[in-house]
Chains A and B, each alone.
Chain A
Amino acid sequence: MSKDEKDVETLGKELRAKTMKVLGRSMAIREVDAGSCNACEVEVNSLTSSIYDIERFGLHIVASPRHADALLVTGPVTRNMEVPLLKTYEAAPSPRIVIAMGACAISGGIFKDCYACNEGVSEFLPVDVLIPGCPPRPQAIIQGIMVALEKLESRKRGASCQK
């Protein structure tokens, strides 16, 4: 087992413990490409390959925002993706976590000054977690999702207090 794979194993165990504690089940994530160059998508897809195999750690990439606990958004949010992104967000049940993944999603990245681009996801949605990188490595994505779980936990606690 290489060092990278060991890192993933350690991270994964931590992740599994956390998902069980916070949700008592797997965490469902819906990925939304809001204008990325597709390298972020390659990395998210890498997570599901059997080297990382994040499903064993309780992380499930789902087909519909209706099933999602969190949205993983990539890209600077192009003009043509503004409406689809908002619609996807509205379709996800609350409490929902928004994760901005990659330099573009965080700040617009290199595309910040383009005429058909915005400066990242936070212009449209309340962003909870930032995962830096261009693109972030798979390990970084797992790390970011753990932070998202912590946020989800505190949000849930907040919601139950209000009741």
Chain B
Amino acid sequence: MMPGPMNELVEDLPSILASSVVSSSLEANHLQIEVRKDALAGMAAHMIGHCHAWLISEHAADLRERDGTFHIYVIFALPKGDGIITVMSKVDGSDPSYRSLTPDIYAANWFEREMMEGFGLLPSGHPDLRPLRLYDSWPSGVYPMRKDFDPSVPVPRVPTGYEFRHVEGEGIFEIPVGPVHAGVIEPGHFRFSVAGEPVINLEVRMGYVHKGIEKLSESLPYPRGVMLSERISGDNGFTHSLAYCQAIESIAGADVPERARYLRTAFSEMERIYNHMGDIGGIALDTAFGVGAQMAYVLRERMLSLNERITGSRFLRSVNCIGGVRKDIDMSGKRSISTELIGLKLDFDDLVGMMTEMPSLLDRVETTGMLSDDAAKNLNVVGPIARASGIDRDTRRDHPYAAYKDLSFSVPLYREGDVYARMMVKIEEVLESISLIEQAMDRMPEGQLCAKVVDVQAGRIGMSLTETHRGEAMHWVMSGEGRPWRHKVRDPSFLNWPAIEVAVMGNIVPDFPVINKSFNLSYSGNDL
């Protein structure tokens, strides 16, 4: 049964859950429910099982100074309409434990491990309590996300251990890969267990580029926070900083000028195109189609230098600001974009024609790295990976921001869940992006670029979702005095990494690079 209006959602709760609700409030499309700690897991399971909601994030904030408790926020998005539900529970500072959501909702796994090492909140009943990022000689009992942790004091190194999953049996070999890889990519550790060629287990260990961005953000004034959010994951810096700006703007109630909304849309799509070109080129390269790879890389380079001509930055950095944008696209800029896009489209058509008809390439990508729609649903994947496994989710359409509401575009959907499907989703998204930029250029009204945002009240919560080229990114900000009290970043890669362990299963080791490339996940965005 699909839920009706959001109010009914609270009224329709089963009596056992209804009795645990402390308070609930509805503001625009955002329903907030506070429940007692013992009912948090039940409520979350109800949201997923009964309302078919998607898990967006599960994170905590340290509010012991205010009311002696940690707050746990579990955020969901309703499948139809743009409704967001936040279920909140207070966990007493003297007893920092709660019932784990993971036995019911597998996607909560990494979130709870993250909260455990950051805040020392123990999820009872969680099947895997190994640290997620602070495994390397990190002393126990030091929780960096707590407010009483001082980041300027160096944390001592103590001997620690980390248990990998072991697969044993006759003829089974273990292949450790990384963190320093053969290619120019980010560091991460992959541990394969193989029986002959096929992979029978893959364990991904991330965290090598963990810096402590969320903690750093709590010390940076909002305008500096924009700079930081551009550097969470460099290649989708624009959409990350956009989410951060939108979160702050929603706290301040700022009215972003129309022109800035259109510009933000155009820049978001320019970022998507150069990244998708890189992914498509990567798939071509890993299937030994060098010509195609170079064609795609040339197109990517053309987009990067277009970015530079228009904004002064190849990565669209320093374009976003709180309240709007800093860079305008004037008439000559518009002409330059439209000429470039026409040329790009023609060349891209050539490339796509070759890639989709080349038997040697198709042979490598079809049925490789399958992620079934069931697995994709349970793992709660987002972005092109979800859309290649039959999950029809796109933040731009489902939770429209910037100017997406006024523009028309379609969301490509494939059901095969293999490398081929992910490649096709990305190819079609490039074409949609080109059309979105053209529409935005046509309809962009004249006007201001940036609204003045002066009053960001303390103690309020702002949240924003944006669709990066990897999928949905979330920025959640609880405001403090001139800077965030708590800033939670959820990169799409954080949801998608566990899926690669599933997709690789049963494939041969030489196919791992192409599977990895079709996922193209961010290590930096995941590790924060």
User: Does chain A bind chain B?
Assistant: yes
Q: Which residues of A contact B (CB under 8 A)?
A: 2, 4, 31-46, 48-52, 61, 63-65, 75-76, 78-81, 83-84, 87-88, 109-111, 113-117, 134-135, 137
B195 adjacent to chain A (CB < 8 Å): no
- Do B211 and A76 have beta carbons less than 8 Å apart? yes
Q: Which among A36, A80, A135 is the interface contact of B133 at CB below 8 angstroms?
A: A80
Q: Which among A52, A110, A135 is the interface contact of B228 at CB below 8 angstroms?
A: A110
Q: Bound complex: CA of A134 vs CA of B227, how far in Å?
A: 11
- Do B301 and A49 have beta carbons less than 8 Å apart? yes
- Do A33 and B297 have beta carbons less than 8 Å apart? no
A39 and B234 in contact, given A50-B298, A114-B151 (Cβ under 8 angstroms): yes
Q: Which among B151, B179, B304, B315 is the interface contact of A115 at CB below 8 angstroms?
A: B151
Extra contacts besides A45-B278, A63-B182 (20): CB < 8 Å: A2-B305, A32-B180, A34-B187, A37-B524, A38-B186, A38-B235, A38-B522, A46-B300, A49-B300, A50-B298, A78-B210, A78-B211, A80-B133, A80-B207, A83-B136, A109-B231, A111-B231, A114-B151, A115-B144, A134-B317
Q: Bound complex: CA of A63 vs CA of B182, how far in Å?
A: 4
B184 adjacent to chain A (CB < 8 Å): yes
- By a CB distance below 8 angstroms, the chain A residues around B186 are 33, 36, 38, 41
B106 adjacent to chain A (CB < 8 Å): no
- Do B215 and A114 have beta carbons less than 8 Å apart? yes
Q: Bound complex: CA of A40 vs CA of B155, how far in Å?
A: 28
| Interface CB pairs A-B, < 8 A, 6 | A37-B232, A39-B235, A79-B136, A109-B231, A110-B228, A116-B212
- By a CB distance below 8 angstroms, the chain B residues around A88 are 180
- Do B152 and A84 have beta carbons less than 8 Å apart? no
- By a CB distance below 8 angstroms, the chain A residues around B235 are 38-39, 42
- Do A113 and B208 have beta carbons less than 8 Å apart? no
Q: Bound complex: CA of A80 vs CA of B314, how far in Å?
A: 29
Q: Which among A4, A49, A75 is the interface contact of B294 at CB below 8 angstroms?
A: A49
Q: Bound complex: CA of A131 vs CA of B111, how far in Å?
A: 37
A80 and B216 in contact, given A37-B524, A42-B235, A42-B278 (Cβ under 8 angstroms): no
- The 4 A-B residue pairs with the shortest CB-CB distance, nearest first, are A39-B234, A49-B297, A63-B182, A37-B234
Interface string of B199-214 (1 = CB under 8 A from A): 0000000011111110
Q: How large is the interface on B (under 10, 10 to 19, 20 to 34, 35 or more residues)?
A: 35 or more
A80 and B234 in contact, given A32-B180, A39-B315, A137-B314 (Cβ under 8 angstroms): no
A113 and B209 in contact, given A37-B232, A49-B297 (Cβ under 8 angstroms): no
B183 adjacent to chain A (CB < 8 Å): yes
- Do B210 and A80 have beta carbons less than 8 Å apart? yes
Shortest Cβ distance from B274 into A: residue: A42
- Do B228 and A46 have beta carbons less than 8 Å apart? no
Q: Bound complex: CA of A130 vs CA of B209, how far in Å?
A: 21
Q: Bound complex: CA of A80 vs CA of B524, how far in Å?
A: 13
B219 adjacent to chain A (CB < 8 Å): yes
Shortest Cβ distance from A45 into B: residue: B184
A115 and B212 in contact, given A38-B233, A39-B234, A42-B235 (Cβ under 8 angstroms): yes
- By a CB distance below 8 angstroms, the chain B residues around A81 are 179, 187, 208-209
A113 and B219 in contact, given A49-B301, A63-B182 (Cβ under 8 angstroms): yes
- By a CB distance below 8 angstroms, the chain B residues around A51 are 297-298, 301
How many whole Å from B295's CB to the nearest CB in chain A? 9
- By a CB distance below 8 angstroms, the chain B residues around A42 are 234-235, 278, 315
Shortest Cβ distance from B185 into A: residue: A41
Q: Bound complex: CA of A83 vs CA of B129, how far in Å?
A: 24
A41 and B297 in contact, given A4-B305, A80-B210 (Cβ under 8 angstroms): no
A-B contact count (CB 8 A): 141
A135 and B315 in contact, given A36-B186, A76-B211 (Cβ under 8 angstroms): yes
- Do A115 and B522 have beta carbons less than 8 Å apart? no
Of B144, B184, B231, B237, most buried by chain A (CB within 10 Å of CB) is: B184
Shortest Cβ distance from A62 into B: residue: B182
- Do B234 and A135 have beta carbons less than 8 Å apart? yes
B523 adjacent to chain A (CB < 8 Å): yes
- By a CB distance below 8 angstroms, the chain A residues around B219 are 113
- Do B233 and A37 have beta carbons less than 8 Å apart? yes
How many whole Å from B473's CB to the nearest CB in chain A? 14
- By a CB distance below 8 angstroms, the chain B residues around A79 are 136, 138, 155, 210
- Do A35 and B211 have beta carbons less than 8 Å apart? yes
- By a CB distance below 8 angstroms, the chain B residues around A52 are 301
Q: Bound complex: CA of A81 vs CA of B210, how far in Å?
A: 9
Q: Which among B152, B234, B301 is the interface contact of A113 at CB below 8 angstroms?
A: B152
Shortest Cβ distance from A44 into B: residue: B184
Shortest Cβ distance from A91 into B: residue: B180
Q: Bound complex: CA of A109 vs CA of B230, how far in Å?
A: 13
- Do A33 and B185 have beta carbons less than 8 Å apart? yes
Shortest Cβ distance from B523 into A: residue: A38
Shortest Cβ distance from B305 into A: residue: A4
Q: Bound complex: CA of A46 vs CA of B235, how far in Å?
A: 13
- By a CB distance below 8 angstroms, the chain B residues around A50 are 294, 297-298
How many whole Å from A120's CB to the nearest CB in chain B? 13
Q: Which among B133, B138, B211, B315 is the interface contact of A117 at CB below 8 angstroms?
A: B211
- Do A114 and B184 have beta carbons less than 8 Å apart? no
Q: Which among B144, B234, B294 is the interface contact of A36 at CB below 8 angstroms?
A: B234
- By a CB distance below 8 angstroms, the chain A residues around B183 are 63
Q: Which among A39, A46, A84 is the interface contact of B301 at CB below 8 angstroms?
A: A46
A114 and B234 in contact, given A33-B185, A80-B136 (Cβ under 8 angstroms): no
Q: Bound complex: CA of A100 vs CA of B146, how far in Å?
A: 33
- Do B184 and A110 have beta carbons less than 8 Å apart? no
- Do B209 and A46 have beta carbons less than 8 Å apart? no
- By a CB distance below 8 angstroms, the chain B residues around A36 are 186, 209, 234, 524
A114 and B232 in contact, given A32-B180, A36-B524, A61-B184 (Cβ under 8 angstroms): no
- By a CB distance below 8 angstroms, the chain A residues around B210 are 78-80, 116
- Do A110 and B152 have beta carbons less than 8 Å apart? no
